[in-house]
Amino acid sequence: AQSVTQLGSHVSVSEGALVLLRCNYSSSVPPYLFWYVQYPNQGLQLLLKYTTGATLVKGINGFEAEFKKSETSFHLTKPSAHMSDAAEYFCAVSGAYGGSQGNLIFGKGTKLSVKP
Amino acid sequence: DAGITQSPRHKVTETGTPVTLRCHQTENHRYMYWYRQDPGHGLRLIHYSYGVKDTDKGEVSDGYSVSRSKTEDFLLTLESATSSQTSVYFCAIGDRTTGETQYFGPGTRLLVL
């Protein structure tokens, strides 16, 4: 079984500051890991994903995340926040072996606010 | 955006009435999913389909049924709507050859009075 914990339901940063959104997962099989972003009144959009290979994954809009197996973490970072980054961010995990374990399990989300 | 549409986009209904939400895709993806999104709960899987007429339950399937008679359409039915089913419903599609990536529709906002 898989589960996801996102630390902090709300994070506020100043424009230009580092963005760090935390995600820890639990999985009984090798995981696939994802970050999605949701802007107000819209569906979810994939930011980046880790399946296999390089553990540092780069995504859209300058975001990146690092898979750390020893820490069971997949934290999302961006060096310099923009006002347009204000949104809700969801971390998700699925099992690499497919079947019902291939379904996505989502964290509860972190709402990012960016102050001018 | 991936070719996913949801209808209706907004609906207000009364307790006890049946409601059907439709998800339509033009991407020919094998997998289709229905989620509900509620504050403080993230997204929770209701049902999913892995092919025409092949469906399975998710985490919160009680009170919901689904049908998939064509690759492109996945219907979610609330047989007798309750106020606890007031939520935003998202459809997603996926192709597990792309590492489980799912693509989401715009959502349907349902209010049950």
**Average pLDDT per run of 10 along chain B, which is 113 residues long?**
88 97 95 93 92 92 96 97 97 77 93 97
Question: According to the model, what pLDDT value does residue A99 have?
Answer: 66
The CA distance from A20 to A26, in Å, is 20
Residues of chain A with Cβ-Cβ distance to B3 below 8 Å are none
B42 touches chain A (CB under 8 A): yes
Q: Quick one: tokens of A48?
A: 């980046």
**Is there a contact between A103 and B45 if contact means CB atoms under 8 Å apart?**
yes
What is the pLDDT at residue B99? 59
Share of chain A above pLDDT 70, in %: 95
Q: Residue B76: what pLDDT?
A: 98
Residue A101: pLDDT band with limits 50, 70, 90: low
Q: Which of B50, B20, B25, B40 is closest to B104 using CA atoms?
A: B25
Cα(A17)–Cα(A79) distance, integer angstroms: 7
Show which of residues 78-107 on chain B sit within 8 Å of chain A, judged by CB atoms. Answer: 90, 92, 96, 99-107
Tell me, what's the pLDDT at B95?
A: 77
B90 to A43: CB separation less than 8 angstroms, yes or no: yes
Q: Which two tokens stand for residue B23?
A: 């998800």
From A9, A104, A108, residue closest to B102, measured CB to CB = A104
Q: Read off the tokens for A75.
A: 């934290």
Q: Judge contact between B29 and B96, C-beta under 8 A.
A: no
Give dist(CA A107, CA A35) in Å, integer.
Answer: 10
Long-range contacts of B54-61 (CB under 8 A, 24+ apart): B56/A100, B58/A103, B58/B33, B58/B34, B60/B36
Q: Which two tokens stand for residue B52?
A: 């025409």
